[in-house]
């Protein structure tokens, strides 16, 4: 791959040599209050857009020290999965054996959040009018600092995701404003912005997961490094990529977005 850099009217060709490496096993495992699932794939090179299929033939076990669950492979989804719900406060351990290698991780499940308010708002910040998704909730703290992972889905496709913690919030309370788009972006409706724009009639669903520090560190690094090709540090031992988390999920019932009904924010955001 060759890029051209211009400096004081001089042109210099810079060659970026992306060294191809052997595929690395990638494990993404989750225990929630809705079930257990583990996806095993192989990494691909930074310039390869083809997604890896789920790998079959692994021995996948999750235990909480009292019960042990073997997860069967589901051909249709490409996941090892089981409908066994996790329990808040339990520590879950993951074991994956594949091609003579052993991968292990553990995670403690925090309690779920009770969301007390969620809504879209227009907010004026500096010289821009922004569409925000504001959420408030209550939870039982597990530690001095607690961690959260959100996912917003638009018409069945992931629209926004991110992480935050409860620093600066009263104990047992959370607040977050998620920026969706600017009013200018909506009015101009440029083709390159259409994945970011929310339209009238879009079906919006929202999930909030309480997660532990290991999962937060991985996801936060993943979000921060998007577009760089860098891999976050895994919380799974054995030399693989990916992460394992025990998390409690809270769902917001899906809504149909009507922008004319979105009200103006009447107070400053935050506490």
pLDDT tens digits for 53-84?
A: 789 999 999 999 999 999 999 999 999 999 99
Q: At a CB cut-off of 8 Å and minimum separation 6, what does 197 contact?
A: 181, 185, 186, 189
Mean pLDDT, the chain, rounded, equals 88
Handedness of CA 237, 74, 63, 252 (dihedral sign): positive
What would the pLDDT profile of 103-144 be if each residue is shown by its tens digit?
Answer: 999 999 999 999 999 999 999 988 889 999 999 999 999 889
**Phi, psi for residue 224 in degrees, rounded to 5:** -65, -30
pLDDT, mean of residues 200-219: 96
More confident site: 239 or 51: 239
Give the pTM. Answer: 0.84
Q: Around Cβ 83, how many Cβ atoms within 10 Å?
A: 8
pLDDT at 256: 98
The H-assigned helical ranges of the chain are 183-188, 213-224
pLDDT at 225: 74
- Separation between Cα atoms, residue 80 and residue 55, nearest integer Å: 10
H or E segment and range at residue 118 = strand 114-125
C-alpha dihedral (263, 265, 266, 270), degrees to nearest 10 = 150
């Amino acid at each position: 791959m060759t890029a051209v850099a211009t400096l004081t009217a001089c042109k210099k060709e810079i060659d970026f040599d992306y060294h191809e490496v052997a595929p690395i096993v990638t494990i993404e495992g989750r225990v929630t209050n809705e079930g257990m699932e583990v996806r095993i794939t192989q990494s691909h090179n930074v310039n390869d857009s083809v997604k890896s299929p789920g790998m079959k033939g692994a021995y996948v076990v999750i235990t909480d020290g009292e019960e042990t669950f073997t997860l069967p492979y589901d051909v249709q989804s490409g996941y090892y999965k089981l409908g066994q719900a996790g329990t808040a406060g339990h520590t879950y351990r993951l074991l994956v054996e594949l091609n003579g290698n052993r991968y292990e991780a553990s995670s403690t499940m925090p309690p779920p959040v009770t969301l007390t308010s969620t809504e879209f708002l227009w907010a004026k910040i500096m010289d821009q009018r922004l569409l925000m998704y504001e959420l408030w909730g209550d939870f039982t703290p597990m530690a001095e600092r607690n961690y959260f992972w959100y996912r917003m889905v638009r018409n069945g496709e992931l629209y926004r995701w991110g992480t935050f913690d409860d620093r600066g919030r009263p104990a047992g309370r959370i607040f977050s404003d998620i920026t969706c788009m600017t009013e200018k972006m909506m009015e101009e409706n440029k083709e390159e912005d259409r994945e970011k724009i929310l339209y009238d009639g879009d079906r919006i669903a929202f999930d909030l997961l309480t997660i532990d520090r290991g999962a937060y560190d991985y996801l936060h690094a993943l979000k921060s490094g998007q577009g760089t090709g860098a891999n976050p540090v895994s919380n799974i031992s054995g030399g693989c990529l990916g992460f394992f988390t025990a998390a409690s999920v809270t769902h917001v019932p899906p809504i149909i977005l009507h922008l004319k009904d979105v009200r103006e924010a009447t107070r400053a955001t935050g506490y």
